[in-house]
């Protein structure tokens, strides 16, 4: 028996269709949602991601403003741009593409974004809201993973054990908190974990978010488990691959997400969903 695929591309299209309907309703009231994407420097991967985000906005009827700056831009200049976007009523979401050039403090830049427009969910106010269970923007990648679980009937994870591999601020930590909020029993593993396989073999849900190939192999997976692959790596042939040994693990798992076509498209879909939520909030409070 091989695992069933969780098709992130198909699910993302459905969510983007719903987003388009909500965007059209706002636009009809003269309140078109707007997302600003700020790119500093010429990281080739970032260029591709940013283009995909802008394209997704266009397709959903969300106004997008792409601001591209030279890598020599100063931190003060970037902070001034964010401030202008914070005060721009046509912009409901601000995304500053990471990584930033080394001379710019990304923490400082992220904290300068108004929490009301923090559609990435990276601001301390958004992260804190998730910790205490208050409303706030959820980080797009883990939020998309939760939607994928929901799509296979796993909205409530009571009595399930979820193992997250990775503890980054943008995926691992918020992922663990979202799984916890869905009533899972959560274990967070990382480079300091003594026996990763011993942990993952107990898991009903495994989320791999390390950024290294073959972190999860078939011998580490309980038969029937759900495996979500957040990784974005290149294999020896230069092809995009995740953190999971897909061909091996799919022989054991019950469900698995592919790379590409899994978590990546969901991340973009949730960015649109967050932008809409921000625009809807602004429309009702105005």
Ligand X SMILES: Nc1nc(=O)c2c([nH]1)NC[C@@H]1CN(c3ccc(C(=O)N[C@@H](CCC(=O)O)C(=O)O)cc3)C=[N+]21
> Cβ of residue 9: shortest distance to ligand X, in angstroms?
7
Among 61, 142, 166, 264, binds ligand X (CB under 6 A): 264
Return the H-helix or E-strand segment holding 67. strand 63-69
Residue 151 φ/ψ, nearest 5 degrees = -65, -20
> Cβ of residue 64: shortest distance to ligand X, in angstroms?
14
Is residue 48 at the binding interface for ligand X, with CB under 6 A as the rule?
yes
Residue 186 carries which DSSP code? E
Q: Are 65 and 117 in contact (CB under 8 A)?
A: no
Count other C-beta atoms under 10 Å from residue 247's C-beta.
9
Which lies closer to ligand X via its Cβ, residue 22 or residue 123? 123
Among 3, 184, 259, 279, binds ligand X (CB under 6 A): 259
Retrieve residue 262's tokens.
């899994």
| Residue numbers 181-240 binding ligand X by CB under 6 A | 232, 240
Which lies closer to ligand X via its Cβ, residue 38 or residue 157? 38
Count other C-beta atoms under 10 Å from residue 238's C-beta.
6
Is 97 a catalytic site residue? Answer: yes
Which range touches ligand X (CB under 6 A), out of 14-22, 79-87, 89-97, 197-205? 89-97
Q: Are 190 and 169 in contact (CB under 8 A)?
A: no
Is residue 268 at the binding interface for ligand X, with CB under 6 A as the rule?
yes
SS3 content of the chain, % helix, strand, coil (to 5): 45, 15, 40
Is residue 165 at the binding interface for ligand X, with CB under 6 A as the rule?
no
Is residue 260 at the binding interface for ligand X, with CB under 6 A as the rule?
yes
Is residue 97 at the binding interface for ligand X, with CB under 6 A as the rule?
yes
Which range touches ligand X (CB under 6 A), out of 82-90, 179-187, 211-219, 258-266? 258-266
Q: Are 157 and 179 in contact (CB under 8 A)?
A: yes
Is 83 a catalytic site residue? Answer: no
Q: What is the number of the residue whose Cβ is closest to ligand X?
A: 264
Is residue 140 at the binding interface for ligand X, with CB under 6 A as the rule?
yes
Which lies closer to ligand X via its Cβ, residue 52 or residue 217? 52
Q: Which of 31, 117, 118, 120 is catalytic?
A: 120
Q: Are 252 and 36 in contact (CB under 8 A)?
A: no
Return the H-helix or E-strand segment holding 81. helix 75-86
- Among 12, 7, 67, smallest CA distance to 273 is for 12
Is 251 a catalytic site residue? Answer: no
Q: Are 95 and 67 in contact (CB under 8 A)?
A: no
Catalytic sites, residue numbers: 53, 97, 120
Binding site for ligand X (CB under 6 A): 48-49, 52, 95-98, 120, 140, 232, 240, 259-261, 264-265, 267-268
Annotated binding site for NADP(+): 166-168
């Amino acid at each position: 028996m091989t695992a069933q695929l969780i098709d992130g591309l198909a699910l993302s299209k459905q969510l983007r269709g719903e987003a388009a309907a909500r965007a059209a309703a706002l636009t009809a009231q003269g309140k078109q949602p707007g997302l600003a994407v700020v790119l500093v420097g010429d990281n080739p991967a970032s260029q591709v991601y940013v283009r995909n985000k802008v394209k997704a906005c266009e397709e959903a009827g969300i106004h997008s403003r792409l601001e591209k700056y030279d890598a020599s831009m100063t931190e003060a200049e970037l902070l001034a741009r964010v401030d202008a976007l914070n005060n721009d009523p046509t912009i409901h979401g601000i995304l500053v593409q990471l990584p930033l050039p080394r001379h710019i403090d990304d923490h400082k830049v992220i904290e300068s974004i108004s929490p009301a427009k923090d559609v990435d969910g990276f601001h301390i106010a958004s992260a804190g809201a998730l910790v205490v269970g208050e409303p706030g923007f959820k980080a797009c990648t883990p939020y998309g993973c939760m939607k994928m679980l929901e799509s296979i009937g796993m909205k409530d994870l009571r009595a399930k054990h979820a193992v997250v591999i990775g503890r980054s601020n943008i995926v691992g930590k918020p992922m663990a908190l979202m799984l916890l909020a869905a009533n899972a029993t959560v274990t967070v593993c990382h480079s300091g974990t003594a026996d990763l396989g011993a942990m993952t073999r107990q898991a009903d849900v495994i989320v791999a978010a390390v950024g290294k190939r073959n972190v999860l192999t078939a011998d580490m997976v309980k038969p029937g488990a759900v495996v979500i692959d957040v990784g974005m790596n290149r294999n020896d042939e230069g092809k995009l691959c995740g953190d999971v040994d897909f061909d091996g693990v799919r022989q054991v798992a019950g469900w698995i997400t592919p790379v590409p076509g899994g978590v990546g498209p969901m991340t973009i879909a949730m960015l649109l969903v967050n932008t809409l939520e921000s625009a809807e909030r602004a429309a009702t409070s105005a």
